[in-house]
Amino acid sequence: MFNGKSTIITGANKNLGKQTAIAFAKEGSNILLHYHSPSSADETEQLAKLLINDYNVKAIIYSGDLSQEDATIELFETAIKAFGKIDYAINNVGMVLRKPLYSTSLDEYNKMFDINVKTSFLFLKYAELKLSEKGSVVMLTTSLLGAYTDGYSLYQGAKSAVYWMCKTASKETQKKITYNCISPGPMDTPFLYGQENEHRIEFFKTQAVEQRLTAVEDIVPIIKFIVKDGKWMTGQNLYANNGFTAPSA
């Protein structure tokens, strides 16, 4: 149970972030829900109301561009002001681009690395400074880190940086905080469908043992395990993909 705990979830308005927020609130955690795009305001407000009314927890909202340092600082300080402490921080912010390296623009590179890498750097930095002793940080990456494929050079490169920053943070912590990554397989969400065609999606399904895409519901229990029962695990990257990729040790 997460009674008395407090959790920050970025990108919490939909998909994995939303379902993680619901799962943690069900077990008693207070939740800070983060979103960025103004178009996500209404759905995030509805989610906060649901958490408060259905699970009797505190749920607050923070909107900001987490590639900006002042916004990231404010994110953590808002949670501390509301809840008194932060126990868990889950970073679900990300952007994907499928495009050959040779036709990728510098603007696309900068945007991908701002959203995926700079936000993660700032999140990890201020998680260490603001979380409670023996807290837990979970960073969402991708199973493409273990794949040899085309089209995802910027996404794979950016998420690789996230993994290594997270791993190093786990060794540098002064507060016994655990830092781990989860790398889901191709997920059955609009995040994937905006980049892939039907043929490739069907192929992805064949690479999993259960012959399907990864569901949000497959990943939420792993996040819960890491922060609650997996405290002896840190600096790790868990490939949660039903066999889509299986990197060697």
In the beta sheet, which residues pair with residue 180?
138
The continuous run of DSSP H or E covering 22 comes out as helix 15-26
Neighbours of 204 (CB within 10 A): 19
Q: 221-248 pLDDT, tens per residue? A: 999 999 999 999 999 999 999 999 888 6
The model's confidence at residue 5, banded by pLDDT at 50, 70 and 90, is very high
Chain position carrying tokens 């603001």: 130
Domain assignment of residue 235, yes or no:
yes
In a domain, 200, yes or no: no
**Distance between CA atoms of residues 13 and 4, nearest Å:** 23
CA proximity to 63, closest of 87, 82, 44: 44
CATH number at residue 236: 3.40.50.720
Tokens coding 139: 């960073």
Per-residue pLDDT tens for 38-53? Answer: 999 999 999 999 999 9
Tokens of 27: 């077990």
- The Cα 55–Cα 66 span in angstroms is 28
Asked if residue 210 is part of any domain, the answer here is: no
pLDDT digit string, tens, across residues 12-37 = 999 999 999 999 999 999 999 999 99
3-state SS, residue 3 = coil
Q: Say if 77 falls within a structural domain.
A: yes
In angstroms, the CA 82 to CA 226 distance is 24
Domain that holds residue 11: 6-187+216-240
Query: Does residue 192 lie in a domain region?
Result: no
Q: Which residues contact 189 (CB under 8 A, 6 or more apart)?
A: 15, 16, 216
Q: How many domains does the chain have?
A: 1
pTM exceeding 0.85: yes
Question: Do residues 220 and 122 lie in contact, with contact meaning Cβ atoms separated by under 8 Å?
Answer: no
Q: Indicate whether 54 belongs to any domain.
A: yes
| Average pLDDT of the segment spanning 136-159 | 95
Q: What is the pLDDT of residues 182-210, one digit of tens each?
A: 999 988 887 777 778 888 889 888 999 99
Strands 136-140 and 237-240: unpaired
Asked whether residue 123 is domain-assigned, the answer is yes
In a domain, 204, yes or no: no
Structure tokens at 190: 């609009």
